[in-house]
């Protein structure tokens, strides 16, 4: 790296060359290109590279030496001792306008990193790195990964994928929605989705030029009777409605599948956190009931981390072929690296162990939050599942008040307002149901003491709204 230091000398400038060299090195240290303990090139080799005499570089080094930034170590060369104090401070990653550094974020959606067995994680990454790089990636995904996902779906989600359907690797749910929209829909087509719902999925459809119509939810799930004619697909989260946390009841599932078959449309089943149930067994997946009309999407974003960047899509072969053809046309497709890691994790039984450990870690966190909220007389919505709960509120004003009060006391709260679709003016868009107001509280991101403190403050702020 040091050989590539961007030292540019201006031979026509008034400033002596030695001063320019010293300044260039100071600037490299200020910007972080050079760090404490980095070894500098010898004066001879730097002089050669810059095309100056050795005395120029020696004079620059003498100057920096006198200023205390570099030091010689006998027999091993010259080192940077410390970066200059005037180096610009790097902003802390949380210190943005949205997240002042002291805010404890209780929003939903984060994975529970604490539950990951670090030794197993490192083992999987090391084993994945042992495979040599491949020349041409399989656009459907790595065979070992696809096999591991099929096994996972069978063991943990009761879905036998692979006989009438095909498992594809994806780069996660949002990316799979973009691919689905690009490969199987046309700009101007319309899809329906639950409202409130996952706005990143809505954003993915909208980015592909697809119109999105909101459909209300009741206690049984998506209101199939409110689905408009003329749509091409319906997107939903049947196992654990996002964000309300309820499950789609069996009769509603049957109704939805019948609607899809009758209307000749597809159902996109987003099973984003189906592995996280703490009480009863989940209902059968829509993909298991109706593989002919369901495109099933899964992700590792909740069970590991979104930074792994992998997920899966299970659907009938004509659909998966269209997605792979789209990847071929556009030269895109998920990266094999994360797929190899998950395949390695699964190979040694670590995936099943991890899911058990994850449930054991998250269930008491959920209990802590639910107990505290109920103790304060607050209503808690949502099944005993997933990584968040919802406390309903009576109005948009109450929701906003709670969010503002939370912020003032150092806790970031997530109002349901941002999970509603901004209704587009479209002939198919019937009026959505009344908006649901409330706060979604995630319990997987913070450590236990922070979670305890944040939930108590949240309960206060919500209770007063
Ligand atoms: C409803 C829903 N679907 C999917 C995802 C995950 O999406 P991705 O795989 O793109 O990270 C999330 C993550 O927060 C989610 O809340």
Query: How many Å apart are CA 237 and CA 245, to the nearest integer?
Result: 9
Helix (H) or strand (E) run with residue 235 in it: strand 233-236
411-412 and 104-105: which strand pairing? Answer: parallel
Atom of ligand 1 at shortest range from CA of 198: 1
Instruction: For the chain, state the CA radius of gyration.
Output: 28
**Helix axes of 317-330 and 173-184: crossing angle, nearest 10 degrees:** 90
Q: How many residues make up the chain in this entry? A: 465
Q: Which of 299, 385, 389 to mutate to test the pocket of ligand 1 (most atoms within 8 A of CB)?
A: 299
Among candidate residues 392, 374, 109, the one with its CA nearest the CA of residue 237: 109
pLDDT at 72: 85
Q: Considering the chain, what percentage of its residues have pLDDT values greater than 90?
A: 71
Residues β-bridged to residue 221: 218
**Backbone torsions φ then ψ of 223, nearest 5 degrees:** -75, 95
Give 375-423 pLDDT, tens digit per residue.
999 999 999 999 999 999 999 999 999 999 999 999 999 999 999 987 5
Indicate the pLDDT class of residue 7, thresholds 50, 70 and 90. confident
- Mark whether 341 and 357 lie in a shared domain: no
Q: How confident is the model at residue 435 (pLDDT cuts 50, 70, 90)?
A: confident
The answer on pLDDT for 428 being more than 60 is no
**Model confidence pLDDT, tens digit, residues 144-171:** 999 999 999 999 999 999 889 999 999 9
H or E element, residue 452: helix 448-463
- Which pLDDT score, from 0 to 100, does residue 89 have? 41
CA 304 to chain centre: 10
The answer to whether position 363 is within a domain reads: yes
Token pair in block for residue 317: 């072969």
User: 89: number of CA atoms within 13 Å, CB side?
Assistant: 4
Cα 28 to ligand 1 centre (Å): 40
Residue 274 has pLDDT above 80, yes or no: yes
Q: Of 336, 352, 368, which one is at a domain's C-terminal end?
A: 352
| Nearest atom (ligand 1) to Cα of 176 | 10
CA 200 – ligand 1 centroid, Å = 8
Which residues, 6 or more positions from 173, have their beta carbon under 8 angstroms from its beta carbon?
200, 201, 270, 272, 297, 298, 299, 301, 311
Q: Does the residue 98 lie in any domain?
A: no
Residue 365 lies in a domain: yes
Which distant-in-sequence residues (6+ apart) come within 8 Å of 420 by Cβ?
195, 196, 214, 432, 435, 436
Q: How far is the CA of 418 from the centre of ligand 1 (A)?
A: 15
31 and 47 share a domain? yes
Structural domain containing residue 380:
104-115+353-463
Q: Are residues 333 and 362 in the same domain?
A: no
| 327 and 291 fall within a common domain | yes
Same domain, 108 and 128: no
Does residue 90 form part of some domain?
Answer: no
Cα 180 to Cα 199: distance, rounded to the nearest angstrom: 16
| Residues 386, 313 within the same domain | no
In this prediction, residue 2 carries a pLDDT of: 59
pLDDT tens-digit series, residues 202-258 = 999 999 999 999 999 999 999 999 999 999 999 999 999 999 999 999 999 999 999
Report the distance separating Cα 102 and Cα 436, nearest Å: 29
119-130 pLDDT per residue, tens = 999 999 999 998
Separation of 53 CA from ligand 1 center, angstroms? 60
Decide whether any atom of ligand 1 lies within 6 Å of the 320 Cβ.
no
User: Would the CB of 108 count as within 6 Å of ligand 1?
Assistant: no
**The pLDDT of residue 434:** 66
Which residue's CA is the nearest one to ligand 1's atom 16? 109
Q: Greater confidence, 50 or 424?
A: 50
Is 232 in the same domain as 340?
A: yes
Domain end position, chosen among 352, 387, 412: 352
266 shares a domain with 209: yes
Looking at the structure, tell me whether residues 324 and 421 fall in a common domain: no
* Judgement on whether residues 396 and 285 belong to the same structural domain of the protein: no
Q: Is residue 51 a part of any domain in this protein?
A: yes
Q: Which residue has the higher pLDDT, 263 or 162?
A: 263
User: Closest Cα partner for 441 from 129, 104, 171?
Assistant: 104
The rounded distance, in Å, linking the Cα atoms of 404 and 138 is 49
pLDDT given at position 426: 52
Q: Identify the domain boundary among 352, 368, 390.
A: 352
String of b and e for 55-87 (b: at least 16 CB within 10 Å)? ebbbbbbebbeeeebbeeeeeeebbbeebeeee
Q: What is the pLDDT of residue 163?
A: 87
Looking up residue 365, the CATH number of its domain turns out to be: 3.90.1150.10
């Amino acid at each position: 790296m040091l050989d590539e230091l961007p030292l540019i000398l201006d031979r026509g400038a008034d400033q002596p060359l030695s001063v320019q060299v010293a300044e260039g090195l100071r600037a490299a240290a200020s910007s972080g290109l050079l760090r404490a303990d980095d070894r500098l090139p010898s004066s001879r080799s730097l002089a050669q590279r810059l095309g100056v005499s050795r005395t120029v570089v020696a004079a620059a080094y003498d100057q920096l030496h006198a200023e205390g930034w570099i030091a010689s170590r006998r027999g091993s060369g010259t080192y940077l001792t410390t970066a200059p104090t005037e180096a610009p401070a790097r902003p802390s990653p949380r210190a943005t306008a949205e997240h002042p550094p002291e805010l404890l974020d209780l929003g939903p959606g984060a994975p529970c990193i604490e539950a990951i067995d670090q030794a197993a994680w490192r083992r999987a990454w090391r084993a994945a790195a042992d495979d040599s790089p491949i020349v041409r990636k399989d656009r459907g995904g790595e065979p070992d990964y696809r096999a591991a996902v099929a096994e996972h779906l069978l063991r943990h989600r009761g879905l036998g994928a692979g006989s009438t359907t095909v498992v594809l690797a994806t780069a996660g749910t949002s990316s799979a929605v973009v691919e689905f929209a690009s490969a199987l829909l046309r700009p101007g087509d319309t899809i329906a989705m639950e409202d409130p719902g996952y706005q990143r999925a809505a954003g993915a459809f909208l980015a592909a030029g697809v119109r999105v119509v909101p459909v209300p939810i009741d206690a049984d799930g998506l209101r199939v009777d409110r689905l408009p004619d003329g749509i091409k697909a319906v997107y939903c989260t049947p196992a654990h409605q996002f964000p309300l946390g309820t499950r789609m009841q069996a009769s509603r599932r049957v109704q939805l599948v019948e609607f899809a078959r009758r209307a000749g449309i597809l159902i996109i089943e987003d099973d984003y956190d189906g592995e996280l149930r703490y009480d009863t067994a989940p209902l059968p997946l829509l993909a298991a009931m109706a593989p002919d009309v369901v495109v099933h999407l899964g992700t590792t974003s909740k069970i590991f981390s979104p930074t792994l960047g992998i997920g899966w899509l299970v659907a009938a072969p004509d659909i998966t072929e269209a997605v792979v053809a789209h990847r071929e046309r556009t030269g895109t497709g998920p990266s094999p690296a994360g797929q190899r890691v998950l395949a390695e994790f699964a190979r040694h039984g670590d995936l099943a162990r991890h899911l058990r450990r994850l449930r054991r870690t998250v269930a008491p966190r959920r209990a802590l939050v639910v107990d505290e909220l109920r103790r304060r007389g607050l209503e808690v919505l949502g099944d005993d599942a997933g990584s968040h709960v919802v406390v309903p509120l009576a109005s948009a004003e109450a929701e906003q008040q709670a969010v503002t009060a939370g912020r003032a006391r150092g806790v970031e709260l997530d109002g349901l307002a941002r999970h509603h679709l901004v209704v587009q003016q479209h002939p198919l868009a019937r009026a959505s149901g009344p908006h649901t107001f409330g706060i979604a509280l995630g319990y997987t991101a913070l450590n236990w003491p922070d979670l305890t403190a944040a939930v108590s403050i949240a309960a206060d702020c919500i209770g007063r709204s």
